[in-house]
Structure 1
Amino acid sequence: MKVIPAIDLLDGKVVRLHKGDYDEATIYNDNPTEEARKFKEAEFNHIHIVDLNGAKEGTFVNLKQIKKIISELDLSVQTGGGIRSYGDAKMLLEQGISNIICSSMAVKSPDDWLNVLEDYGDSAILGMDLKEGKVAYGGWLETLDKSLEGFLAPMIERGLSTILCTDISKDGTLEGPNLELYQQLGKQFPQLHFIASGGVSNANDLNVLEKQDQYGVVVGRAYYEGKLSLEEMLKYHSG
């Protein structure tokens, strides 16, 4: 299982939101590169970065900070937030970002997203945020009235391989991930890799996810609040 440390950026600072609420942001570090260096020194080589300004405003407010992390630390970065078009995706990948995570574009500009999948393959990850069982987008402020099967079918046909799935009700809560959801999704779509996101609270959560044979998991608030050490995260990290 891939354990992926997370950095959420808002106005150039490392923060975490509570259930996606921008008014409930906890600041953990004013220096994103300094934060990312801790993961590098612990021998993580791939991290997850979200541009929260981008997710809400559609502009790459924190790209400068992300590029600095890549150039100074030689880390592989998957990033999302504000990717609205094929041109956005192409630009970010050309900036040295390893994987782009798209959610709103898959809903609002499906043709662009399908073209991204065709042209960039495994570099393109679908960010599927679920709110009460429905796909949420636009900074988690809107939901899509469509079944998961209907939503994912054309993407699978065009080569989708990986989904980063967040249960918004669990994100930033430290209440434990929605284990049943990830297990169900894995059975429903066995051809896809799922990266679990939201709610991880301790090493036991990682243990259970590993036993469920999950492809990957993103860890954020549990690390920042001392519930999980980097050593514990590495214990369950296999690549």
Structure 2
Amino acid sequence: MELFPAIDLRDGQAVRLFQGDYDQMTVYSKSPVDVARQFKAKGAKNLHLVDLDGAKDGVLVNFESIREIVTDMDLFVEVGGGIRDEDRIRQYLDLGVGRVILGTIAVKEPEFLEEMVRKYKEKIAVGVDVKDGFVAVSGWKEVTDREGMEFCRYLRDIGVTTVIYTDISRDGGLKGTNLEVYKQLSQIKGLQVVASGGISFAEEITALKETVYGAILGKALYDGLLDLETAVELAK
């Protein structure tokens, strides 16, 4: 199983939000690049970057931090947050980003999503954020009538190869992830599922590696609940 330590970027800093709430933000480092170096030193091969300014305001405040991380380190980097047009996709891919993650626009503009998947294939992933079984968009403030599992099947059918699936209720809570939903998602053949939201314990890494392609580790790493070196070994 691939592990993706997460770095959320806001105003050039590494931060974490609680359940996507910008008013519940903790700053962990003023240097996201240093955080990335620490993750690499502990065995990380991948990184999951989220541009929170891009997601909120559509601005590229954190582009230099992302550029430095991508160009200075030999890591597979996936980036999400506010990617709403092809120009932004190209900017990131030209930089050397391995995969860009589309969120709200993937739900609201399916024609755009399908065109980007046709053009960029496996370099396009979709973030599927789910609340009470239904897909949520616009910073998790708007819950749609799209059922999460059905939406993932649709994504597989149009050629999306990787989905980052987050159970919003578990995000940032340090109380464990939704293992049952990932068992269900593993039945969608041909789709690489990355588990996200609430992964907090070593035994969850062991359980998830039987069902999913990857897992994102966030607050549990920053708060010391999970040790990255241990997680890397368990994921092998």
Shorter chain as denominator, the TM-score bin is over 0.9
Quick one: distance in 1 between partners of 2:232 and 2:219?
16
Aligned residue pairs: how many? 236
**Pairwise CA distance, 1:173:** 0.6
Contact 2:162 2:193 in 1 (8 A): yes
> Are 2:30 and 1:54 aligned?
no
Q: Match for 2:135: what amino acid?
A: V
Contact 1:135 1:143 in 2 (8 A): yes
Q: What SS does the aligned partner of 2:92 have?
A: helix
Contact 2:9 2:53 in 1 (8 A): yes
Quick one: distance in 2 between partners of 1:152 and 1:85?
22
Q: Which residue in the other structure is 1:38 paired with?
A: 38
Q: What SS does the aligned partner of 1:151 have?
A: helix
Per-residue CA deviation, residues 88-126 of structure 1 (Å, 9 max, x unaligned), is 222221122111011111022221111111111111111
Unpaired stretches in structure 1, ≥5 consecutive residues = none
Q: Which residue in the other structure is 2:227 paired with?
A: 229
> Are 2:218 and 1:220 aligned?
yes
- CA, structure 1 residues 215+108, in 2 after alignment: closer, same or farther (shift >3 Å)? same
Quick one: distance in 1 between partners of 2:213 and 2:74?
24
**Pairwise CA distance, 1:150:** 5.3
Unpaired stretches in structure 2, ≥5 consecutive residues = none
Contact 1:86 1:113 in 2 (8 A): no
Contact 2:194 2:213 in 1 (8 A): yes
TM-score under structure 2 normalisation? 0.94
TM-score under structure 1 normalisation? 0.93
Q: Match for 1:14: what amino acid?
A: A
Quick one: distance in 1 between partners of 2:154 and 2:68?
36
- The 5-angstrom pairing of residues 82-231 of structure 1 reads 82-148=82-148, 151-152=151-152, 154-187=154-187, 189-210=188-209, 212-231=210-229
- CA, structure 1 residues 19+149, in 2 after alignment: closer, same or farther (shift >3 Å)? closer
Quick one: distance in 2 between partners of 1:202 and 1:17?
19
Contact 1:86 1:115 in 2 (8 A): no
Q: Match for 1:36: what amino acid?
A: A
- The 5-angstrom pairing of residues 8-47 of structure 1 reads 8-47=8-47
Percentage identity across paired residues of the two chains: 40
Q: Match for 1:109: what amino acid?
A: E
Per-residue CA deviation, residues 59-86 of structure 1 (Å, 9 max, x unaligned), is 2221111001112223221010001122
Q: Match for 2:218: what amino acid?
A: G
**Pairwise CA distance, 1:154:** 4.8
Deviates more, 1:26-35 or 1:57-66: 57-66
Q: Match for 2:235: what amino acid?
A: H
Q: What SS does the aligned partner of 2:184 have?
A: helix
Q: Which residue in the other structure is 2:6 paired with?
A: 6
Q: What SS does the aligned partner of 1:236 have?
A: helix
Q: What SS does the aligned partner of 1:144 have?
A: strand
**Pairwise CA distance, 1:4:** 1.2
Quick one: distance in 2 between partners of 1:101 and 1:193?
13
Quick one: distance in 2 between partners of 1:176 and 1:152?
22
